[in-house]
Amino acid sequence: MDIRLKALLKSLWVYHLSTGSCNNCDIEVLDCLTPRYDIERFGMLPAGSIKHADLLLITGSCNRQSVARMKRLYEQVPRPCFVVAIGECALSRGMFIHSYNCPQPLDRIIPVDVYIPGCPPKPEAIIAGMVKLLEKVKNK
Amino acid sequence: MKETIIPIGPYHPLQEEPEFFTLTVEGERVVDIDVRVGYNHRGIEKLSEMKTFDQSTFVIERICGICSTSHPFAYTRALEDIISMGVPRRARYIRTIIAEGERIHSHLLWLGLAGHFLGYKTVYMWAWKLREEILDVMEMLSGNRNNYAMFKPGGVRRDIKAADLPVALGKLDSIIPTLEMLRKAVLEDPVLHARTQGIGVLSKQDAIDFSALGPTARASGVARDVRKDCPYGAYDEVEWDMIVTANGDVFDKLVVRIGEVFESVRIMKACLLNLPRGEIDAGIADIPPGEGIGHIEAPRGETFHYVRSDGTNRPVRHKVRAPTFMNLPTFKTTVKGATLSDATIILAAIDPCYCCTERMAVRDPEGRTLGDGYDLIRLSQEKTARIKRKMGNK
């Protein structure tokens, strides 16, 4: 196993990016950090800068304003990096599929590793998704 | 002194929506601020006009995840205004219960984030832990933690089961002691006084001139609350007080919000105890041609919806005005003259869907980067630590 991947198993640092969401997924992500759910036990911490992150958590419907910025941020993440799409909007644009400002879903723009459905997904679902991601890292 | 421009935003890892601030600073003093929004535009008004009246309720629930009750509430009231009809009494009570539950969790969320920006991680964790209890109640009553989908034109979509009432009341009673402790910890802390009193003052005249809304206005002594001025739901049938303070600084905004949490618990309990029997849905078949407005008091201030109908099953025009839109310009007066380390909490004090400090970069005129967004929060947290040390030495 690649030493860089092995190191990630216990210390995935997370950068959270909202590409035009309604806040709900973002708050549930924050909720995961607080005492009841405490995602830190999997070694996950929010990273202050994109350049320290191993994992991009992307919420929202990828509107025109954010797509270019998101691509630029994605290019700046040190490799290996993983992308998790959280919530219905990031998966398929959900309710905003007919909106003039949300041209394409997230996985047409950048590759996505784990999808967590829900509007918003419960913190339990987010944690389950993260554990699946860890499995994926382990088997890589 | 040379002016430096600090761009803040539009992305932040810890926070919610993208927004973009440009702070102009001279040394440590902020002299000007500019706000740019639009990173979150999803075309909701247009989407709402493409859907039927019933479907729109779900779309506008997704305007904001924290105000996911306020917007449908204002929208359904606008539709009821077109028909000029009332809502069954039980439905009004249920609407009030859901709206107040949302206010409690929204204010606790803000309190936690304010604690985080000030360097009080304990307040952050405690407030969010307490918020979970309220979300449990809301999940039990409505079936979801955030997007409740309880509203429909003419009433509510789901009834509250009789078996749930004592459980909900018990949970509300059980959070009061913790809330009381949190209030004491926050409002009687000398360090927090030093950090928030006299900071980011919005005078009463400014609050009126900027048409500030909600807790931002009430902290400045403007007694304005849609729930009292133009009662809807069950607000005229239960006892509660409007919290108004005089100084308009960040501390007063804390006082108002914490006070409102207690009032909301009081309203919620009164509504649960006196929940009347009867219908929950008036059954609206068609919306006649006409126009209607609906306005309600969201956690951040007055939410306003305007709907025009031409007699078909879709709105012809749907206009939404959210409270943060009115509160953002108050930064023009509150941030000016403050130090950079206080700017974080002042920008957070109106409870905007505040975000983005992280992607900021401090640049000098030659374009060299001096620091990033976390430095701003760090500056704020260091100031608290400094004050703590100073007080400890005395």
The two structure tokens encoding residue B67: 């105000």
Q: pLDDT under 50 in chain A at which residues?
A: none
Check B145 against A34: CB less than 8 A apart: no
The CA–CA distances, whole Å, from B262 to A48, B98, B167, B172, B278 equal 35, 15, 19, 10, 29
Rg (CA), chain B: 22
Tell me, yes or no, whether B229 lies in a domain. no
- Residues B79, B158, single domain; the answer is yes
Interchain pair B38, A65: CB under 8 A = yes
Which CATH number fits the domain that encloses residue B182?
1.10.645.10
Whether residue B18 and residue A20 make contact (CB cut-off 8 A), yes or no, is yes
Core vs surface per residue B313-341: b (16+ CB within 10 A) or e:
ebbeebebebbbbbbbebbebbbeebbbb
Nearest C-alpha neighbor of B253 from the set B201, B209, B297, B204: B201
According to DSSP, the residues that pair with A59 across neighbouring strands are A18, A86
- Of B281, B300, B325, which residue is a domain's last? B325
Buried b (16+ CB within 10 A) or exposed e, A111-131: ebbbbbebbbbbbebbbebbe
Residues B83, B138: one domain? yes
Q: pLDDT value at position B96?
A: 92
- Sign of the torsion formed by the C-alpha atoms of B195, B198, B204 and B210: negative
The tokens describing B194, both together, are 């030093």
Examine the pLDDT at B369 and tell me if it is beyond 60: no
Q: What is the pLDDT of residues B124-150, one digit of tens each?
A: 888 888 899 899 999 998 888 888 888
pLDDT in tens, B306-357: 999 998 888 898 888 888 878 877 887 888 778 877 877 787 777 665 322 2
> Quick one: B133 and B14 in the same domain?
no
Which tokens in the block code for residue B231? 């009662």
Q: Measuring CA to CA, how many Å separate B359 from each of A25, B11, B373, B385?
A: 20, 5, 6, 24
Q: Are residues B82 and B27 in the same domain?
A: no
Say if residue B377 is exposed, middle or buried (CB neighbours under 10 Å; 0-12, 13-18, 19+). buried
Q: Angle B340-349/B89-118 helices, nearest 10 degrees?
A: 170
Tell me the chain A residues in contact with residue B39 when contact means C-beta distances shorter than 8 Å.
Answer: 20, 63, 65-66
Where along chain A do its domains lie?
3-139
- Which residue(s) pair with A82 in the sheet? A55
Can you give the pLDDT at residue B17? 64
Query: Per the domain annotation, does B387 fall within a domain?
Result: yes
Strands B29-36 and B151-152: unpaired
Structure tokens at B14: 């810890």
In terms of domains, do B193 and B315 share one? yes
Query: What is the nearest CA distance from B10 to chain A, expressed in angstroms?
Result: 9
Cβ neighbours of residue B312 under 8 Å, at least 6 residues apart?
none
What is the band of B366 on the pLDDT scale with cuts at 50, 70, 90? very low
pLDDT at residue B237 is higher than 80: yes
> Closest partner residue to B42 among A20, A73, A122, by Cβ?
A20
**Which of B13, B145, B372 faces A15 most closely, judged by CB atoms?**
B13
* Residue B158 shares a structural domain with residue B18: no
Average confidence score pLDDT of chain B: 82
Do B95 and B124 lie in a common domain? yes
Q: Which residues of A touch B14 (CB under 8 A)?
A: 16, 30, 46
Lowest average pLDDT, out of B7-16, B190-199, B275-284, B351-360, goes to B351-360
Judged by CB atoms closer than 8 Å, whether chains meet at A101 and B41 is answered as: yes
> Which pLDDT does position B69 carry in this prediction?
87
Most confident of A12-16, B77-81, B282-286, B388-392: B77-81
Average pLDDT over residues B223-242: 88
Residue A95 CB contacts under 8 Å (≥ 6 apart), including other chains: A88, A89, B47, B58, B59, B62
Dihedral over Cα of B376, B381, B384, B388: its sign: negative
Secondary structure of residue B371 in the 3-state scheme: strand
CA dist., res. A32 & res. A40, Å (int): 8
B54 and B8 within one domain: no
pLDDT of residue B376: 63
Distances (CA, A) of B237 to B72, B104, B159, B265, B276: 22, 20, 20, 15, 12
CA distance A63 to A58: 12
Percent of chain B clearing pLDDT 90 (strictly above): 13
Q: What's the burial of B204, exposed, middle or buried (CB within 10 Å: 0-12/13-18/19+)?
A: middle
Q: What are phi and psi of B301, to 5 degrees?
A: 145, -160
Q: What is the average per-residue pLDDT within B249-277?
A: 90
More confident residue, B379 or A114: A114
B306/B371 same-domain check? no
* B65 vs A24, A49, A96: nearest CB: A24
Chain B CB within 8 Å of residue A121 CB = no
Higher pLDDT, B190 or B393: B190
What would the 3-class secondary structure string for B27-76 be? CCEEEEEEEECCCCCCCHHHHHHHCCHHHHHHHHHCCCCCCCCHHHHHHH
**B297 lies in the same domain as B181:** yes
Please state, in angstroms and rounded to a whole number, the distance separating the CA atoms of residues B255 and B186: 9
Fold of the A3-139 domain: Rossmann fold (3.40.50)
Residues B35-74 pLDDT 10s = 776 777 788 888 888 888 888 888 888 888 888 888 899 9
pLDDT at residue number A60: 84
Which pLDDT value is given to residue B267? 92
Min mean pLDDT across A36-45, B274-283, B362-371 is at: B362-371
Q: Is B319 helix (H, G, I), strand (E, B) or coil?
A: strand
Residue B359 is predicted with a pLDDT of: 30
Q: Are residues B29 and B153 in the same domain?
A: no
The count of structural domains within chain B is: 2
Q: What phi and psi values does residue B197 have, to the nearest 5 degrees?
A: -75, 135
Same domain? For B122 and B177 the reply is yes
Domain of B287 in residue numbering reads as 44-199+272-325
Whether pLDDT at B287 is above 50: yes
CATH code for position B12 = 3.30.390
- Whether B246 maps to a domain, the answer reads no
Residue of A nearest to B132 (CA): A36
Q: What is the pLDDT of residue B264?
A: 92
B46 with A100: Cβ contact below 8 A: yes
Distances (CA, A) of A99 to A21, A105, B344, B354: 13, 12, 34, 24
Calpha distance B347→B351 (Å, rounded): 8
